[in-house]
Amino acid sequence: MESMRGILHKTSLQEAQERQLAGQKRTWSTSNGDEDRKDSSSGSRSAFTATTAAPASASSQSSVRFQNALHFLPPSTKLSASKIVTFNASEGPSEYTQRRVFAATPSSTIDPELDLAHPVYNLPPQLVNNFASLGIKQIYPWQKNCLKGPGLLTGAKNLVYCAPTGGGKSLVADLLMLKRIMEEPETKALLILPYVALVQEKVRWLRTVVQGLTANLDPEALEKQKANSIWRLRPDHDSIKVIGFFGGGKIRSTWQDFDIGICTLEKANMLINTAIEDSSISQLRAVVLDELHMIDDDHRGYLLELIATKLLSLEQPIQIIGMSATLPNANLVAKWLNAHSYETRYRPIPIEEHLVCEGKIYHIGTNGATAQRQLKVEEISKAQIDATRQIEESSHKEFRDPVLNAVVTLAHETALMGYGALVFAGSRGICESDARLISRVMPQPHEVDSKTMDKRMDLLSELRSLSTGADPVLEETVLSGVAFHRGLNDLAAGINLPARRVILHNARMGREFVGPSMLRQMRGRAGRQGKSPVGETYLCCRQDDLEQVLDLMYADIPEIASCLNTENKRVQRAILEVISVRLANSHESLLEYFSNSLISYTHDREFVEKCLTSGLEEIHDLGLIVNDSYSSFAATQLGKAIVASSVDPYDGVFIHAELTKTLKAFVMDGEMHILYVFTPVQDFGIIVNWQVFRNEMDALDESGLRVLGFLGIKPTAVLKLAQGVPLKENTPEERELARVYRRFYLALQLRDLCNEMPIHVVARKYDSPRGSVQTLAQTCQGFAAGMIKFCEHMGWGIMAAALEHFSDRLMAGARTDLLELAKIPFIKSRTARVFWENGYRTVGAIANADPKELVLILMHAQPNKLRLKGKIDEKYEEKLLVKANVISASANRLWQVQLQAEMAEE
């Protein structure tokens, strides 16, 4: 490992460049990848498996060096998929049951209001054209009815609406939001989504939607802007700017830089807090809350509630538009949000649902089983109803389990017919083994046409060139047209994948069955307008699970309720935040504030008051708020630092104690102390392997050992723990110390990640689930940015400056990011540095930037030329825009591959 001195003498950029120049290969991947960036899709025939991030044992691959040849063939022997016998002669095996004539959706010749150009919508022709070129030539009747709800098109009324997955919800929200910012000068909109991958997809979509449109600028403000600008206004100054906010790192773009901000929940909450504090919130005119049912999510749902409550408490008109596919108590939510409520069951692409048990396939209905007659366990177990098809038993021992055999056979059948299948498995282990086994029945590389194989090879080489290297299982499967993704949420929640068929391997998440809501989301992935005109789902289960599976299939979607309570500490966080941003400062005003919260609609007043009283008491006792003689509350410096850095109040107190120690003795002659400070404090559910801890401790240099001492970690104690003596956690002090030990174990992992060790190798080395290492890698940058803010708010300027300085050089991915940047065409040497210095430090950041923004950076990279001219040459700017578009497209492609390689947040 490099010492701190070495790093300080040489920037990571220089280092990255030198390594590139020398053509040095990274230790962890033997392929440098194909420099030409080609289409990264894996071809039309594919099977894709997705899973939860449930822990599983480390990969069985022991070597971290992989074969270089792209013509790498899976070592496993080919297996064959079972045959499927059809009982009903009218349904041939290659025929999809729903390929029949549907009653056509009414067209605008019958109802002129289905045409977006109709005056009732009052949309600019450019917008109508843009939608048409994206395949939306007319709207669905439900979209029309919804849009025409009272006061919606004028922005006077809020809206809560529900439509099945794939039903076309986004269009309604997009139109309402765009209308607001186009019709009302100088206004802004926020669109809030739960996952980074969704934010990414939405940014791309909306940028296309708003192409050529102009924001409505206030003429007075425009004059002022002109007068204040040393540059003449760029030709695109009035275009609608769409910016995405997500992931770690500082928020680089500010409220001023966008017309539409697309954010994850965390980023939206931060943006809104800042805007309330500096009063720029007054520009906010529309907020879209997608996946509104997330409010019920134990971990992050409270953020949605806090955001909506804050918006409701402001005294300015903000149109709130909330949508969901699964919101059984939409009326209550609408009442809370003071919104018009609309619900439809329309699905442009019907889905045929199937149950598979003991190899028998039962057709259970169209569009959600709940609408059908309920099947009973005996009907299936006593063969009282007819199966439509039967999957024959396999002669391979690998496929002895009938559920697995069904999954593999059905995926294989879909792919052979040239369509995509999406398999959901209950754990990482099952996901990987499904991917491997499916790939073994797929046509082998030599049996596939060369065009498809080229695409797969390109994809594999792109994966290999990622900083984390290609996953060993993907190495085995990609060339067979099979890939997988660990983490089911973003896939289930709406990424547009062209999956014709969704196959559920047991409908479990870990050991537990998924909930009815998740089941509906996963099945809803089948068939997608514009991507796949038909959809099918197959829920494959064991005979023993039949009763629970049927219960699950027919279960009502549970009503959603507020997740704010004192036990999960969300109330405390909410109170602290409200006091800190000064939306309330007394018991009464807090009560009034919480009367705008969902908790006041789903719980009785007594409960709310109790939560409030005990929450206030707790954060007061923690020293996060004070109250004066007039009983008015104010956040303390620590309270404000906690809100600004977006940490949980209790974590904040722990961080404060740790940083106070650090201030007294900061070990600067090595990297371990900094890494420790940058190690997130959240519980990743880690289990320390004490032998590994001991080995790593033994390998620490003198500076590292000094860090241990300052943190209170005793080498003798670690030796005992490694011999099997359990870690004591009886008293609060012991628990605190145990937390330090665990955090240090994560800091060691972070150190290895910073040194570009691939995630799967780190996971194996530390005997940790890959999912938790991945979470660590994904959250550390955001956490580090939070720590810098924390120090700034505590008045620890020097510490903040030191952390800031090191975060650029030391943070996980810093060097790998530079290597990544250099893969984008035109971003080399000096340009890379300029991009880096201007905050575009990752492929993701560049992918997400508006190409017009990139033009400015490209200009900065050529300052002499510009200064000489004194003004921007339009032709030159046009040239740069072409360059910027190439950069953007390429960065998007790389970023997509990264996302698919699980680099998404959360």
- Alpha-carbon separation of residue 810 from 11, 15, 521, 692 (angstroms): 10, 13, 40, 23
Radius of gyration of the chain (CA): 28
Q: Which residues contact 795 (CB under 8 A, 6 or more apart)?
A: 637
The CB-of-530 to ligand ATP minimum distance in angstroms stands at: 5
Distance CA 23, CA 159 (A): 56
Q: Pick between residue 171 and residue 757 the one whose CB is nearest to ligand ATP.
A: 171
Which of 844, 845, 840 shows the shortest CA–CA distance to 858? 840
DSSP class of residue 557 equals P
Q: Pick between residue 246 and residue 362 the one whose CB is nearest to ligand ATP.
A: 246
Q: Pick between residue 505 and residue 528 the one whose CB is nearest to ligand ATP.
A: 528
Half-sphere exposure of 549 (CA within 13 A, CB side): 22
The CB-of-455 to ligand ATP minimum distance in angstroms stands at: 22
The CB-of-167 to ligand ATP minimum distance in angstroms stands at: 4
Query: Is residue 140 a contact point for ligand ATP (CB under 6 A)?
Result: yes
The CB-of-501 to ligand ATP minimum distance in angstroms stands at: 16
Q: How far is CA 338 from the centre of its chain?
A: 29
Return the number of other C-beta atoms located less than 10 Å from residue 884's C-beta: 23
Burial of 316-335, coded b for 16+ CB within 10 Å and e otherwise, reads: eebbbbbbbbbbbbbebbbe
Residue 652 near residue 645 (C-beta atoms within 8 A): yes
Query: Is residue 529 a contact point for ligand ATP (CB under 6 A)?
Result: yes
Query: Is residue 786 a contact point for ligand ATP (CB under 6 A)?
Result: no
Q: Pick between residue 297 and residue 398 the one whose CB is nearest to ligand ATP.
A: 297
Query: Is residue 527 a contact point for ligand ATP (CB under 6 A)?
Result: no
Q: Which residues contact 856 (CB under 8 A, 6 or more apart)?
A: none
Which of 435, 565, 452 shows the shortest CA–CA distance to 76? 435
Helix (H, G, I), strand (E, B) or coil at 780: helix
Stretch that binds ligand ATP, among 58-66, 134-142, 575-583, 633-641 (CB under 6 A): 134-142
Among 45, 144, 169, 852, binds ligand ATP (CB under 6 A): 169
Q: Pick between residue 105 and residue 829 the one whose CB is nearest to ligand ATP.
A: 105
Query: Is residue 167 a contact point for ligand ATP (CB under 6 A)?
Result: yes
Query: Is residue 165 a contact point for ligand ATP (CB under 6 A)?
Result: yes
- Number of residues in contact with ligand ATP, rule: CB under 6 A? 20
Among 163, 576, 784, 843, binds ligand ATP (CB under 6 A): 163
Residue 241 near residue 258 (C-beta atoms within 8 A): yes
The CB-of-531 to ligand ATP minimum distance in angstroms stands at: 7
Q: Which residues contact 743 (CB under 8 A, 6 or more apart)?
A: 676, 679, 681
Distance CA 780, CA 162 (A): 36
DSSP states along 462-496: HHHTSTT---HHHHHHGGGTEEEEE-SHHHHTT--
Query: Is residue 422 a contact point for ligand ATP (CB under 6 A)?
Result: no
Indicate the residue type of 21: L
Query: Is residue 110 a contact point for ligand ATP (CB under 6 A)?
Result: no
Q: Pick between residue 490 and residue 671 the one whose CB is nearest to ligand ATP.
A: 490
The CB-of-195 to ligand ATP minimum distance in angstroms stands at: 11
Termini Cα distance of the chain: 29
The CB-of-325 to ligand ATP minimum distance in angstroms stands at: 4
The CB-of-389 to ligand ATP minimum distance in angstroms stands at: 28
Residues 277-306, interacting with ligand ATP (CB under 6 A): none
Stretch that binds ligand ATP, among 167-175, 537-545, 736-744, 860-868 (CB under 6 A): 167-175
Query: Is residue 108 a contact point for ligand ATP (CB under 6 A)?
Result: no
Stretch that binds ligand ATP, among 135-143, 411-419, 532-540, 632-640 (CB under 6 A): 135-143
Distance CA 489, CA 293 (A): 13
Query: Is residue 499 a contact point for ligand ATP (CB under 6 A)?
Result: no
Structure tokens belonging to residue 154: 């004028």
Stretch that binds ligand ATP, among 137-145, 231-239, 389-397, 820-828 (CB under 6 A): 137-145
Among 123, 325, 541, 564, binds ligand ATP (CB under 6 A): 325
- Alpha-carbon separation of residue 38 from 17, 34, 531 (angstroms): 23, 9, 21
Q: Pick between residue 15 and residue 490 the one whose CB is nearest to ligand ATP.
A: 490
Structure tokens belonging to residue 462: 């792109």
Stretch that binds ligand ATP, among 7-15, 163-171, 390-398, 510-518 (CB under 6 A): 163-171
Query: Is residue 494 a contact point for ligand ATP (CB under 6 A)?
Result: yes
Distance CA 619, CA 613 (A): 10
Q: What are phi and psi of 855, to 5 degrees?
A: -55, -45
Structure tokens belonging to residue 64: 């971290």
Query: Is residue 136 a contact point for ligand ATP (CB under 6 A)?
Result: yes
Spell out, one character per residue from 170 to 209, where the chain touches ligand ATP: x when CB under 6 A holds, - when not.
xx--------------------------------------
Query: Is residue 166 a contact point for ligand ATP (CB under 6 A)?
Result: yes
Half-sphere exposure of 700 (CA within 13 A, CB side): 26
Binding site for ligand ATP (CB under 6 A): 135-136, 139-140, 143, 163, 165-171, 325, 494, 496, 524, 528-530
